[in-house]
Structures are given as structure tokens and as C-alpha cells.
Amino acid sequence: MPSAADRRLTVRLAAACRLVDLRLLDHVIVGLSGWYSFAMTDPAALQPHPVWDPAAP
């Protein structure tokens, strides 16, 4: 399972991609216990939040 930091990074990646007119298709987390695909398990996380502050932690 991805950490809270992984989820925040995914949202920020999607928002950054949107700024340059790209679409984030997936964010895959690979660890010792396996892998996690946001596209397969939580596709809504790949959609940028409508109000995104790039300076937010």
C-alpha cells in the first residue's frame, strides 16, 4: 500500500502534468513487498485536485 506521502506525490504529479497539458496515466510504487498501481486501484488519485497549491507541503 502506498504511504500518505506517495498519495500526495501522485496528486502533485497529476497537477504538474496538467500545467503542461499532459495526462498522468499511472504512478507505480515498487517496494520489497510488491508493487502498487494507482491506475488499477485508485484512478481518482491521478486526477488533479481542482484547487492545487504547488507550495503546499
pLDDT in tens, 5-42: 998 898 888 888 888 888 889 999 999 989 999 999 98
Question: Is residue 32 included in any domain, yes or no?
Answer: yes
Better-scored residue on pLDDT, 8 or 55 = 8
DSSP per-residue letters across 8-43: HHHHHHHHHHHHTT------EEEETTEEEEHHHH-G
Q: Which structural domain, as residue segments, surrounds residue 38?
A: 4-46
What pTM did the predictor assign? Answer: 0.69
Question: Is residue 54 included in any domain, yes or no?
Answer: no
Check whether 47 has a pLDDT greater than 90. no
Question: Is residue 12 included in any domain, yes or no?
Answer: yes
Question: Is residue 21 included in any domain, yes or no?
Answer: yes
Question: Is residue 10 included in any domain, yes or no?
Answer: yes
If one counts the domains in the chain, the total is 1
The confidence score (pLDDT) of residue 35 equals 94
